[in-house]
Amino acid sequence: MIPLLTAGGHRVIAPDMIGFGKSDKPTERESYTYSNHTAWVKAFMEALDLQNVTLICQDWGALIGMRMVGLYPEKFARVVSANGPLPSSHMFKPELVQMMGQMYDTLPTPGKQDLINAFRNYAPTTFLTWIKYCYESPDFSPRDVMEMSIRGASEAELDAYMAPFPSEEYMMGGRMFPSLVPILPKSADELAINDKAWEGLRKFEKPLITAFAKNDPVTAGAEMPLIKFVPGAKGQKHTKIDGGHFVQDDNPEELSAIVLQFMKDNPV
């Protein structure tokens, strides 16, 4: 997407999430928390003195980014959420979180084929299987994850996704990210922070659109709270895009065109 957006005359900043890319990364598991990831992104934005940001966020980019928008709205001018919800206790009530914790505890540790089968036959336990695979499985490999997730990735592309992880000790960011989604009992404090962020989002009047994929079972329907409760989403051109979970890789042309038109329609 970067050359498409810069060709439209815009500056694009795409930071590595800590634990990914070739940036330095902690190797200890306990360094990777939702709050730490948010603090790292906040420090990054402050170091570059980024203002009037148009946030384009997907998956964990949204869990971090939308939390940032809710807590620090003054930094942002516009928001594009693509497969990017922000979980709250309104979506994941305590009884549901407790039930999911109990279900997680009963799941066996899955291997790669177990995960493939789980996503092929998507069920309520599929995301929990995904968490357990990343957190515990000796089979875990970022290369395999991307091969399962991205349509038609070449061998060279898969090798590039694997390049930042020369050995197991560098994989803790990838192992931890799924389990940091605040849907299990251990994440109650993080869900409370998201609730506070939602207080900010409910007052966020700057432009916000959703551009979710048509074929992503993970986030299907999760755009509706943003459309319903964020004031800046009212009257905007929300859309559905052909693609799966990693929609920015499946369909960068359409998503980039939507972003460019959104910025044109909502000038800073």
Residue in 37, 216, 249, 250 annotated catalytic = 216
Is 216 an annotated catalytic residue? Answer: yes
How does DSSP assign the chain, residue by residue?
A: -HHHHHHTT-----PPPTTSTTS----SGGG--HHHHHHHHHHHHHHTT--SEEEEE-THHHHHHHHHHHH-GGGEEEEEESS-----TTTS-HHHHHHHHHHHHHSPPP-HHHHHHHHHT--TTHHHHHHHHHHH-TT--HHHHHHHHSTT--HHHHHHHHTT-SSGGG-HHHHHHHHHSS-SGGGHHHHHHHHHHHHHHTT--S-EEEEEETT-TTTTTTTHHHHHH-GGGTT---EEESS-SSHHHH-HHHHHHHHHHHHHHS--
* Selected catalytic residue, list 37, 245, 249, 250: 245
Are 92 and 113 within 8 A, CB to CB? Answer: no
Catalytically annotated residue among 16, 24, 59, 144: 59
Is there a catalytic annotation at residue 59? Answer: yes
HSE on the CB side for 35, CA within 13 Å? 8
Whether 245 is a known active-site residue: answer yes
- Catalytic center residues: 59, 216, 245
